[in-house]
Structure 1
Amino acid sequence: MIEAAGTGGQLAFDGQYVTITRNGFLARATHGRGDKKIPLTAISAVQWKPAGMTNGFIQLSIGGADRQAAKGGRTMNAAKDENSVVFTRKQQSAFEALRAALEQAIASQHTPAAPAASVADELAKLAELHRQGVLNDAEFAAQKARILGS
């Protein structure tokens, strides 16, 4: 579990869900208290503004595309967004680690899985190994039976 505490909220990522927790007076005034649990599969992007002269923020895009606020108003808008957490420069390193884990997890969802080898392909490879002498007759027969489910 990766956690990061910002101003007015915390983020936690367990590999499957991101939980945004709000506590305190500021949270009640802007978002209400409590937790919001978002499945990783619902997050389409992570917007990031590092802390500098002003606070930074991490903002989760849920579903479709988000419009970016005009320069100068981004942090103020993020503070009002229920899917964002604002952080200070001191808190930034924890959010950077969380951001990296989230982006890696999101990207891995979109990496195509290697196509499964067909039964014919597996048998052809097995036959080639047998022909090369890597497998003896008994090993070849056993592996062929395993592939064919016999």
Structure 2
Amino acid sequence: MTSDIPLLQFKSHIAGKNATVQIFSDRVEWERPRGVSGGKLTAGLLTSGVSLLATGVRSGRAGTEMIPIKNISSVTTKRDGLRFTAVQVVTSGNTIDFRVGHNEARPIKDLLTELVLGSHPSQQASAASEPALASPAPEPPPAPASATSSLAADLEKLAELRERGILTDEEFAAQKSRLLGM
């Protein structure tokens, strides 16, 4: 069950337009409003409206877009000028830069990372609220070899996430310690 209440909402500069971005437990959505850009408005004022008459007032770059959380392969941040940081979201077929203030970037990256890893509380709550079809039989304890191979697979996945930039070294160490029971 997905919620229509965003976990986080912010304004971002995307591809030349300010957009309203909403992060849900299962997707990221944004909407760019239709309107006149600052550059187009300035050119219109400098040319006494001649450029606006020649090119038109409407902008065709309005629209909406959505990325499912399950399609996100990487989330990184990089400074973008004196006041902004770009939160870069990489999917299999697209890369989107959300340009936000420095103080907004870290919480956005952390939230997206938790959602990609499936460790955000909203995802745990939705999984727990799904009704069970039948009462499951108790699972037998796993064989030691199976537990070892599962642990190794989990550690390999964590290492891959660190290499792709989804986890920082500190986040990797914390998750590794949790897996190893330290």
TM-score (norm 2): 0.42
If you compute each CA radius of gyration, which structure gives the higher value, 1 or 2?
1
Question: Greater RCO between the two (CA within 8 Å, min separation 6)?
Answer: 1
